Copies of this chain bind each other. A is one copy, B any other.
Amino acid sequence: MKKTRIILAGPRGRMGKEAVTLIQETEAFELVAAVDRIHEGKLISDLEGMPNVQAPIFTDIEKCFQTVEADVLVDLTTPEIGRVHTKKALEYGIRPVVGTTGFSEADLAELKELAEEKGIGCIIAPNFAIGAILMMKFSQMAAKYFDDVEIIELHHDQKLDAPSGTGLKTAELISEVRETKKQGHSEEKEILAGARGATYDGIHLHSVRLPGLIAHQEVLFGGFGQGLKIRHDSYNRASFMSGVKLAVEAVMNIDTLVYGLENIIE
Stretch in A36-44, A79-87, A210-218 touching the partner = A210-218
Contact B152 A208 (CB under 8 A): yes
Given contacts A130-B145, A145-B134, A192-B200, contact A223 B209 (CB under 8 A): no
- Interface secondary structure of A, over-half rule: mixed
Contact A212 B208 (CB under 8 A): no
Q: Is A24 located at the chain interface by the 8 A CB criterion? A: no
| A229 to B: closest C-beta gap in Å | 4
8 Å CB contact of A226 from B162, B206, B234, B246: B234
Given contacts A212-B223, A225-B239, contact A142 B134 (CB under 8 A): yes
CA distance A35 to B188 in the complex (A): 37
Q: Is A166 located at the chain interface by the 8 A CB criterion? A: no
| A100 to B: closest C-beta gap in Å | 20
Residues of B within 8 Å of A195, CB to CB, are 162-163, 197-198, 205-207
Stretch in A46-54, A57-65, A179-187, A252-260 touching the partner = A179-187
Contact A223 B131 (CB under 8 A): yes
Given contacts A210-B227, A226-B212, contact A246 B145 (CB under 8 A): yes
Contact B141 A162 (CB under 8 A): no
Residues of B within 8 Å of A196, CB to CB, are 162, 194, 207, 209
CA distance A154 to B225 in the complex (A): 14
CA distance A146 to B234 in the complex (A): 14
Contact A188 B211 (CB under 8 A): no
| A8 to B: closest C-beta gap in Å | 17
Q: Is A31 located at the chain interface by the 8 A CB criterion? A: no
CA distance A182 to B213 in the complex (A): 17
Q: Is A125 located at the chain interface by the 8 A CB criterion? A: no
| A259 to B: closest C-beta gap in Å | 19
Q: Is A230 located at the chain interface by the 8 A CB criterion? A: yes
Q: Is A127 located at the chain interface by the 8 A CB criterion? A: no
Contact A228 B226 (CB under 8 A): no
Residue of B nearest to A187 (CB): B160
Contact A185 B160 (CB under 8 A): yes
Sample of 10 A–B contacts (CB below 8 Å): A148-B211, A150-B210, A157-B183, A163-B191, A185-B209, A212-B224, A213-B235, A223-B242, A228-B230, A229-B233
3 closest pairs, A vs B, by CB?
A210-B222, A192-B198, A225-B238
